[in-house]
Copies of this chain bind each other. A is one copy, B any other.
Amino acid sequence: MTVTADACPGSCTEVAERAWVQLIRAHRSALCSVEKALRAAELPPLEWYDVLLELEREGPLRSRDLQERLLLAQYNLSRLVDRMEAEGLIERTRCSDDARCQWIRTTTAGDALRQRMWPVYADAIRTAVESRLTKPQAAQLGELLARLSNCPKA
C-alpha cells in the first residue's frame, strides 16, 4: 500500500488499496495544478469559488449547511467565512428566529469574483480531467467516486 504509482504491477496490491492510492495521487496531482492556475491568475483558492457558487445556487445558507455541503470542518468554514467577509465577498446576518444561526449570502463583489474565477477553473479542470479521459470514462469515474463520498445514511 503506497501512494506510489507503480505499486507492484500485478496483484500484490489489493484492488481497494490501489483505488485508494490512486485517489490520493489523482487528487494531489489535479488539485495542485488547479490551485497553481488560480494563483498564477492572482485569484483566491478553490474553496472561495465553491462557497460563492454554492451560495449563488442555493441562495443564502446557514453556516452549518454550507459546511455540510462543502464537507468542511466547522472551524475551517468559520474562518473561511471570516476571510471572505473581510474581502467583502459575502455577508453574514443573524437569523431572526434562531439567534445562534446566521445567514450567509454573496455580495455583488462575490458574484463578480466567482465569474472571474470560472474560466480559469474550468480550464484547469479540462486539463486535469477532460484531456485524460473519454467522456464515458469521466462519467463512470464520477459515478464511482460519488459512492465514496455519499454518507452511509444517504
Q: Flag the segment in A21-29, A82-90, A99-107 that touches B.
A: A21-29
Contacts of A133 in B (CB 8 A): 16, 19, 144, 147-148
Minimum distance in angstroms from A142 CB to a CB of chain B: 4
Contacts of A4 in B (CB 8 A): 54, 57, 69-70
Q: Which residues of A contact B (CB under 8 A)?
A: 1-5, 15-32, 50, 53-54, 57, 69-71, 118, 121-122, 125-126, 128-130, 132-133, 135, 137-142, 144-150
Task: List 7 additional contacts besides A23-B26, A24-B27; criterion CB under 8 Å.
Answer: A2-B53, A3-B54, A16-B126, A22-B148, A29-B148, A30-B149, A137-B144
